[in-house]
A = this chain, B = another copy of it.
Amino acid sequence: MKQINVGLIGYKFMGKAHSHAYKDVGMFFDLPAQPVMKALCGRDEAGVKEAAAKFGWESYETSWEALLQREDIDLVDITAPSDAHREIVEAAAQAGKHVFCEKPLALNLEDSVAMWRAAEKAGIKHMVGFNYRRVPAVQLAKRLIDEGAIGEIRHFRGTYLQDFIVDPDFPLVWRLKREIAGSGPLGDLASHLIDIAHFLVGDIGEVIGMEKTFIKERQIPSSMTGLSATSKGGAMGKVTVEDATNFLFQFDNGALGSIEASRMCPGRKNYQTFEINGSEGSLSFSFERMNELEFFSRSDASYAQGFRTIQVTEPEHAYVEAWWPPGHVIGYEHTFIHEVKDLIEAIAADKMPQPSFADGVKCQAVVDSVIESAKTRRWVEVPKVTL
């Protein structure tokens, strides 16, 4: 079988999730090509060496430049912080490697477009890591919408709420610095919902948003590389991203939308939810119960209508046949396995994977417009980007 040699940059939270996906995908799916875990890349040699051994990578590198120079790498997977994305992608494209890049694509629209352009120019395959599209329940939502089960769509409302920085003693990690992260929950969380909205409803035409940082200073951790940091330094630093964002929008097709993302909601852990109302029915989803989709149909008998809690665990549901019997639920990490499956299949078939950088750019255009609208306090038309 054809092999696709993978080099992965980053080995923390996302790096681990991606590593696991390459490790497991072939056990559950019949793939047209075999992903080979060639090299793991990270700056700290001790750390990357240990991670490579633990995760099952054949080798490791301590610089991404070195990784890109290796001839035995076909696909570069980037889970580094957002500020590093553009440079790596451009170099990878130039080196002719396919690229799988975590979201958000970049710190801003300009960088995102540059990445897309570079990838297209190089003729490589490119994919952006909107993994929540790969939840079987989200795929079922897509199927039902495409079949017309909820009719013409009128409303999309999404929330993505977490609480991991509610404690004022939570330190100033890199995700709280604009120069590294681009934005706060807007780019980190809301971007997933923007992509879901694009995927399920259509293009977003204009937006108006607001944002707020409730806790303006936090302690600087001794290390700023992790998602959480246990050792805190004494000095305080400024939080430069928002703690919460909230925006309204109109889709080009006339539907109304709203998205709220916040890291300051006690009890909400990974509370990514959306509800879509159409002329014939409604859909509702919450990631914390990711194996379920709520579906209301106006075509049920009038006295027996209600939101159905569909357990999206039947063999006929997307991706599920590879897993366990009905009701034997799957989890977060499976979204990455599904991503890798689709990516490998696309590369093997010489097709562009979905979502590609085009989708990453489209999402970034909305993100930037929200930021601008929060600053100018006006509705902002989302730019339509083409190459």
Contacts and interface: CB of A to CB of B under 8 A. Distances in A.
Interface in A203-249: 208-210, 212, 214, 227, 244, 246-248
B244 A265 contact: no
Copies of this chain present: 4
Interface residues of A toward B: which range? 35 or more
A65 interface: no
A384 interface: no
Interface of A, secondary structure class, is mixed
Interface in A325-343: 325-334
Contacts of A254: 212, 214
B210 A248 contact: yes
A344 to B, nearest CB: 15
A368 B278 CA distance: 28
A288 interface: yes
Nearest to A249: B210
Contacts of A314: 302-303
B288 A311 contact: yes
Contact of A244 (B19, B155, B307, B331): B155
Contacts of A305: 267, 308, 310
Nearest to A317: B303
Interface stretch (A23-31, A39-47, A84-92): A23-31
Contacts of A269: 311, 313, 325-328
Nearest to A258: B246
Interface stretch (A119-127, A191-199, A292-300, A358-366): A292-300
Given A307-B308, A308-B304, A154 B377 contact: no
Contacts of A227: 325
Interface stretch (A71-79, A158-166, A348-356): A158-166
29 contacts: A13-B325, A23-B24, A23-B27, A27-B55, A140-B303, A140-B304, A144-B304, A150-B266, A154-B244, A154-B262, A157-B159, A208-B210, A210-B248, A246-B248, A246-B258, A262-B277, A264-B277, A268-B282, A269-B325, A271-B327, A287-B327, A292-B306, A294-B306, A295-B306, A302-B314, A306-B308, A324-B333, A328-B331, A377-B379
